[in-house]
Amino acid sequence: MRRAFRLASILLVSLFLAALLAATAWIVPQRRRGRYRARFQQAWARLLCAVLGIRVEVIGDFPRIWNGLAIANHLGYADILVLGSVLPVTFVSKADVARWTGIGFLASIAGTLFVDREDHAAAGPFAGQLRTRILTGDTILLFPEGTSTRGETILPFKTAPFAAVAGLPGRTVLPLHIDVVEIEGKPAVGPCRDTVCWHGDAELVPHLYRLLGLRGIRFRVVPGAPIPCDGRGRKMLARESWERVTSLREVSARHGCLFADDFIWIRSVT
């Protein structure tokens, strides 16, 4: 019953909001359309988190002055809802997602940018596309590990995405660490994390079926200090970002599992 209710709610909410976004986005001037979609997507993500019983805990404050690129470790598709609920951003996703029935359509409506990670020749032009969007005021969020994991370690970051902001004066990279800390009232440790973290060879539909049946999930997001892009190449930015996210993982671990009734609590969001 829980799964059926949640699935029906997700479909109805998403179809309604997708239609509303498609009907209103064209009214917004082109230069502001990306930010409008990002704000709309934030409200959309919060609604879906509520439907799925996802609670988001933010440790620390988001910077008041920040623009450019946000990066985070990657646990799976739930990251989009969790991070989208706390930050108005445009996501970057692998090109395969655009071909997923229903999901690809909704992601496109929300303004997601798709990249073919297997086409190395496209990396340069895509970085240029990201740079153009950032220079017009959009905030982009991507997962530079290039894949998802159980979250027990952080893979080295790919350097190609950082070419979008390398050397840009006045722009920054915002490091974020995301983790699942509680599943159905119990600490999220060991193999039980696989019910939330979609990674490896796990098939999407069976994994989503299990997640829909969970009574509640608590995620934790830890933002770090922005990293200036001016004077830094893509390799330096990738290395510093990985080091920063790794240190944020340690900050998250020190907080352990917290138990509270709030859905989302944030001290400041830009």
Backbone phi, then psi, for 269, in 5-degree steps?
-135, 130
CB count within 10 Å of CB 270 equals 13
Q: What does the pLDDT read at residue 101? A: 74
Cβ contacts of residue 267 below 8 Å, gap of 6+? 58, 60, 61, 62
Q: What does the pLDDT read at residue 256? A: 64
Task: Of 35, 90, 69, give the one whose Cα is nearest residue 228.
Answer: 69
Cα–Cα distance, 231 to 186 (Å, whole number): 45
Residues of the chain with pLDDT under 70: 65, 121-122, 256-270
Q: Is 105 exposed, middle or buried (0-12, 13-18, 19+ CB in 10 A)?
A: middle
Q: What is the pTM of this model?
A: 0.89
Q: What does the pLDDT read at residue 258? A: 45
3 state DSSP class of 70: strand
User: What is the residue whose two structure tokens read 């020190």?
Assistant: 254
CB 53 within 8 A of CB 217: yes
**Helix (H) and strand (E) counts for the chain?**
7, 10
Q: What does the pLDDT read at residue 110? A: 84
Instruction: Show the domains of the chain with their CATH numbers.
Output: 2-265 (3.40.1130)
Rounded to 5, what percent of the chain is helix, strand, coil? 45, 15, 35
